[in-house]
Structure 1
């Protein structure tokens, strides 16, 4: 005997499809961020031979307060480089207790007319607070719009850079430095400075590729690749 299933079983309703889509998106978003801790803490064992997404845990009996502490002196001005900035990052490599906690922090010093050049954090959203001075900041959305969202920030102002998007900060004051603190939503956010990655890769990207991509002569690309692309993330 054959049974004909009712339509409500053979064809998903719009509300069911919407619910399924939302659940899939929520699951993807959860997997896209740092894994959540399954215990109070998981202090990174930097000497463990075990390779996991993050670091293996120290035995809790061997953990002490120093695993959650660093005398980072983030209130002390830093010397800037030729792009006019210095990023002092405190992540899991400096404080092993950050392992699995999904957060890190950075102090950024800007010389007069200095900048933190266009870059991206592949694993973190960033929220930046200006402590001293003025900053012109912004981020650019993904293709095809490539829309710029920018703002001039003063002392005490806060700005958010969404995860993975190219962003920058620039100190427009020719006489006074600026300082900011940034919190990032990963124990190891990573940083890709666009100019360094494109023109300073090792080995170099073919100048044929870059000349075509940027619609310039190969001599221009060769000159750019010959520059010293300094890293301002320490």
Structure 2
């Protein structure tokens, strides 16, 4: 039995290594998997279209040169380019967005639950930042100028603010075909059905009238 010990240890390590390899993301087994938006099958991602029906337009999007409409309460506009706009992005793990800012416009604190973001300023300047998780809640923030780049880790609350008197434009690239977005204010104060005023008032340590006021603004 003593002579068997090294062999048993080797087999155990081999099994562990194999299980870790199987748990990683699989390699692509085809050139592409263009999303079939007409499919009624629910999957983690979107079902592949028959490759014989794929066209060049499945990999194409036009219009990112056009400014978004920033005439809203926060003074910003996001033009997404993800799998919903380019079906060919399905299973490729990337997407991007154009973000336009009016003077003093804000992209409110939000989260991308499925993707890391890297932001490049094309015009103007932005004050940007993200906050780490509990209990530290540390703010990492910086003023960016034209040509500057900043990274927002996946799942952390972050924001961008145009503190200048001119318009600002940025391009955000994300590590997911569908990174998702959770705007903190909307999620907390504008859920459907709404979170109880009692719960929100206690969470923020304010009077329920203030909660009602915030909800009315959103």
TM-score by length of 1: 0.83
- Distance of aligned partners of 1:27 and 1:168 in 2 relative to their CA distance in 1, 3 Å threshold: farther
Q: Which secondary structure state, in structure 2, belongs to the residue aligned with residue 226 of structure 1? A: helix
Equivalent pairs counted in the alignment come to 212
Counterparts of 1:143-182 in structure 2 under 5 Å?
143-173=134-164, 175-182=165-172
Please tell me whether residue 55 in structure 1 is matched to residue 46 in structure 2: yes
- After TM superposition, what 4+ stretches of structure 1 lie above 2 angstroms from structure 2? 3-11, 35-38
Aligned to 1:134: 125
Counterparts of 1:170-209 in structure 2 under 5 Å?
170-173=161-164, 175-209=165-199
CA distance in 1, matches of 2:126, 2:98: 14
- Distance of aligned partners of 1:146 and 1:85 in 2 relative to their CA distance in 1, 3 Å threshold: same
CA distance in 2, matches of 1:224, 1:63: 47
CA distance in 2, matches of 1:144, 1:38: 42
Contact 1:37 1:101 in 2 (8 A): no
Aligned to 2:111: 120
Unaligned runs of 5+ in 2: none
Contact 1:130 1:181 in 2 (8 A): yes
Q: Which secondary structure state, in structure 2, belongs to the residue aligned with residue 220 of structure 1? A: helix
CA distance in 2, matches of 1:86, 1:147: 27
Unaligned runs of 5+ in 1: 230-234
Q: Which secondary structure state, in structure 1, belongs to the residue aligned with residue 68 of structure 2? A: coil
Please tell me whether residue 212 in structure 1 is matched to residue 202 in structure 2: yes
CA distance in 2, matches of 1:4, 1:214: 63
Aligned to 2:37: 46
CA distance in 1, matches of 2:184, 2:29: 36
TM-score by length of 2: 0.89
CA distance in 1, matches of 2:27, 2:92: 7
Contact 1:204 1:225 in 2 (8 A): no
Aligned to 2:67: 77
Q: CA RMSD in A?
A: 2.3
Contact 1:88 1:107 in 2 (8 A): yes
Q: Which secondary structure state, in structure 1, belongs to the residue aligned with residue 142 of structure 2? A: strand
Contact 1:134 1:172 in 2 (8 A): yes
